[in-house]
Structure formats: C-alpha cells, structure tokens
C-alpha cells in the first residue's frame, strides 16, 4: 500500500492546528499494517497512531510515520437473552457507532453520545460522560503489537482501566495498534440519569416514557449547548482532567470555597470539577490571541483562527498555573501533547 511523504496533519486533528508528518499511511486492515511495518522505507522510524484526532495537540511536525486508523466494520459476534456482543472496527466514528447500537436496540452507550473520536480511542482513554465509563461495557480489545507484528487480544480485565487511562496509554505509547473493540451491550436498557444536568433536562422534557434513545438525544442536546462542534471551531473537548484529591485535602478547600462542586469516588477519594476551578480563576470566555477558553464551558480550549499548537499549550499552562496558585490543585491535560 502507498506510504505518502510530507503530509499535512491539519485535517486529521480536531484542534485544526498546522503540522505535518514525514510519512503517512492510512490503515484499513491488519494486513495493511503488516505491509507498512515490512516496508524498508520506514523501518526504524518513530511512529504515531492516529484515530479521530480528537484527543491530540500537535505543537510541532512529526518526524516519523503516522498511521491513520481507518479500520471499519460493525458486527454482532454473539447474543444471549440479555446481551449482545458487538465488535466494531477501531476506525469507526464513535458517535455513529453509538447511534448504530441504539438503532439495533443494544443499550449501555447512550450516555456517551456525541463524544468525538474513533472507536479505537474509547478503551485507550476509558472515555466517560454523565455517569458512565466505557470500561463498564467493554469486553475485549484486539490489537497488533507493533514490535512483532503479531496479534494480541486484551480482555477487559487486562486493560488496566482507570480514570481516563488504560494500559494503552502507558509507556511506551503506541506499542499496540488497536484493530477492533468488542462491547457487551444490554438488550434491556438500564438508564443512568443521576447527573444534575441530565436530570434537569429530563424534567424539562416532561416525557412519561424515557427511553435510551430519548436519553441519548437529551445528552446530545446538553453537549451541543456546552461544547463547540470541532468542524466549526477547533477544539479537543475537555482539555483538563477533573482532579482527584483526598478527603483530608477537601476539608479546608470546602471550608474556604463552600460552592466547590465535588464528587465522592468509589475508592473514597474526591473528584473536583476542573471547569469550576478554571471559571473561578476568571478564564471562562477569555481569549488570548488566536485561541481561548470557550464561553459555554471553561474546560474547553478553542482555536479561533490559525493558532499554533504551541499557543494553545502556553494558554493551558497559564490556566493550570493560576488554578495551582489559588487552590493548590494540579490540573493534568487530557489530550496527548506532541
């Protein structure tokens, strides 16, 4: 298969920042990948695996080989009375896949509607929203080990899933090329409506029969109201993870800032709303040069017009420094920064 030279990466990242790759190959199958790995022209080159480009910030050109995951296909691999096991190619668009599951009456992913990116990124990030994490529905991840070219299957128990992390994010990065992801979905919906925004929207909907399909539509409306469409305004969704702190650290903070949103985690620690911290520091809606903080959601950094990745990174560091100075809390970026 052809390997292209000096390819612009601007169309392949949702921040829409300018960058280029020395080598670029679109991978549509495991066979494509093995062909590229055997090509002497790129032997020994650093490599970067790229999905939907919705969780990466380029601050420079990539001096190596970019492998764009374009493996498609969705199939039901088995069923029983309660569940369906659905395998999706890693290059499938995530929200299109969520819509497919609902169309076929397979449930569990409805709260994860409209998250940008590809299916292959879902276990890497252990994506989550509105009370659901993808790890709760994950069955297995099929990969190719880059060093050997051999297939390797990870059961969910082997994926080392955590808050926005997994074994696939641990160094060395891009050790495994994800080819497909299999989900264990329910045939009877079990709706999760505990988040305040969701509960409020449901109440305003005034519907007698809430279905998974209606819940998914409600969540799409909530997300559209808070988050910009990357096709219209460059962004990578939430730029910072919500920090997790101990109960001991929370007590003085809650006393000093009684309105601070915080949520008890299963491990007994406390998750703090990063967007609230950033907003309290005066960043919401603030613009610096060609980039800024989205007016409807302080967690989202946006590229207004031709910002370089280095500008967006500098803004993020300034924001994190101000949060640290005021609250003593470190903010960790969610996107991969190159």
For residue 322, pLDDT over 90 is answered with yes
User: Is the same domain home to 324 and 271?
Assistant: yes
For residue 284, pLDDT over 90 is answered with yes
* CA-to-CA separations, 109 to 184, 195, 326, in angstroms, rounded: 10, 15, 37
How far apart CA 310 and CA 323 sit, in angstroms, is 20
Catalytically annotated residue among 92, 110, 133, 334: 334
How far apart CA 233 and CA 287 sit, in angstroms, is 14
pLDDT in tens, 110-129: 999 999 999 999 999 999 99
For residue 208, pLDDT over 80 is answered with no
Catalytically annotated residue among 122, 166, 216, 238: 238
Q: What strands, in cross-sheet order, belong to the sheet with 62-69?
A: 4-8, 20-27, 62-69, 47-50
Structural domain contains residue 200 = no
- Is 279 an active-site residue? no
Structural domain contains residue 173 = yes
pLDDT at position 297: 94
**For residue 298, what are the domain limits?**
234-337
As a whole-number percent, the residues of the chain with pLDDT over 90 amount to 80
For 152, list phi and psi in degrees, rounded to 5.
-145, 135
- Is 164 an active-site residue? yes
Tell me how crowded residue 176 is: count the other CB atoms within 10 A of its CB. Answer: 20
Higher pLDDT, 2 or 49: 49
For residue 2, pLDDT over 90 is answered with no
Cite the DSSP H helix spans in the chain. Answer: 30-37, 94-103, 121-125, 196-205, 212-226, 247-256, 274-280, 309-327
pLDDT in tens, 66-87: 999 999 999 999 999 999 999 9
How far apart CA 84 and CA 222 sit, in angstroms, is 28
For residue 308 the two structure tokens come to: 């370089």
CB 272 within 8 A of CB 266: no
328: left (phi over 0), alpha (psi -120 to 50) or beta: left
Mean pLDDT taken over the chain: 93
Structural domain contains residue 283 = yes
Type and span of the H or E element at 104: none
Q: Which of 69, 85, 112 is the endpoint of a domain? A: 69
Structural domain contains residue 221 = no
For residue 314 the two structure tokens come to: 């500098």
List the beta bridge partners of residue 314: none
Question: Residue 14: which CATH number?
Answer: 3.30.43.10
User: Is the same domain home to 35 and 80?
Assistant: no
For residue 206, pLDDT over 80 is answered with no
In the chain, the number of structural domains is 3
For residue 278, pLDDT over 80 is answered with yes
Tell me how crowded residue 141 is: count the other CB atoms within 10 A of its CB. Answer: 26
Tell me how crowded residue 180 is: count the other CB atoms within 10 A of its CB. Answer: 24
How far apart CA 242 and CA 318 sit, in angstroms, is 17
The average pLDDT across 32-37 equals 92
How far apart CA 146 and CA 179 sit, in angstroms, is 12
Question: Residue 103: which CATH number?
Answer: 3.30.465.10
Question: Residue 259: which CATH number?
Answer: 3.90.78.10
Least confident interval from 58-62, 67-71, 159-163, 290-294? 159-163
DSSP string, 150-180: -EEEEEGGGS--BTTB-GGGSSSTT-EEEEE
Cite the DSSP H helix spans in 28-76. Answer: 30-37
CB 169 within 8 A of CB 159: no
pLDDT at position 67: 96
pLDDT band at 194 (very low <50, low <70, confident <90, very high): confident
User: Is the same domain home to 37 and 78?
Assistant: no
CB 18 within 8 A of CB 12: no
Catalytically annotated residue among 92, 122, 133, 164: 164
- Is 133 an active-site residue? no
User: Is the same domain home to 111 and 179?
Assistant: yes
User: Is the same domain home to 59 and 110?
Assistant: no
User: Is the same domain home to 22 and 108?
Assistant: no
Higher pLDDT, 2 or 14: 14
pLDDT at position 1: 61
Structural domain contains residue 115 = yes
């Amino acid at each position: 298969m052809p390997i292209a030279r000096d390819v612009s990466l601007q169309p392949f990242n949702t921040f829409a920042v300018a960058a280029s790759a020395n080598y670029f190959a679109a991978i549509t199958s495991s066979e494509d990948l093995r062909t590229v790995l055997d090509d002497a022209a790129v032997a020994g080159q650093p490599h970067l695996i790229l999905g939907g480009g919705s969780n990466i910030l380029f601050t420079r050109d990539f001096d190596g080989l970019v492998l764009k995951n374009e493996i498609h296909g969705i199939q039901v691999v088995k069923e029983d009375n309660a569940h369906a096991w659905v395998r999706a190619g890693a290059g499938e668009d995530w929200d299109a896949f969520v819509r497919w599951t609902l169309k076929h009456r397979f449930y569990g992913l409805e709260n994860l509607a409209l998250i940008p990116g590809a299916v292959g990124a879902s276990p890497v990030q252990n994506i989550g929203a509105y009370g659901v994490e993808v790890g709760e529905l994950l069955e297995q991840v099929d990969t190719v080990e880059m060093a050997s070219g051999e297939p390797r299957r990870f059961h969910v128990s082997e994926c080392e899933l955590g808050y926005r992390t997994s074994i696939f994010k641990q160094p060395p990065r891009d050790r495994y090329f994800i080819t497909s992801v299999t989900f264990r979905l329910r045939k009877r919906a079990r709706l999760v409506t505990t988040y305040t925004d969701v509960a409020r929207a449901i109440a305003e909907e005034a519907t007698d029969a809430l279905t998974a399909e209606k819940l998914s539509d409600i969540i799409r409306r909530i997300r559209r109201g808070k988050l910009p469409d990357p096709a219209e305004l460059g962004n990578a969704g939430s730029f910072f993870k919500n920090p997790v702190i101990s109960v001991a650290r929370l007590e003085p903070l809650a006393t000093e800032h009684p309105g601070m949103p915080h949520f008890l985690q299963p491990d007994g620690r406390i998750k703090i709303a990063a967007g609230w911290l950033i907003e309290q520091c005066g960043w919401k809606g603030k613009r610096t040069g060609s980039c800024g903080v989205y007016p409807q959601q302080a967690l989202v950094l946006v590229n207004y017009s031709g910002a370089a990745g280095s500008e967006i990174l500098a803004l993020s560091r300034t924001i994190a420094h101000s949060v640290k100075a005021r609250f003593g809390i470190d903010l960790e970026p969610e996107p991969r920064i190159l």
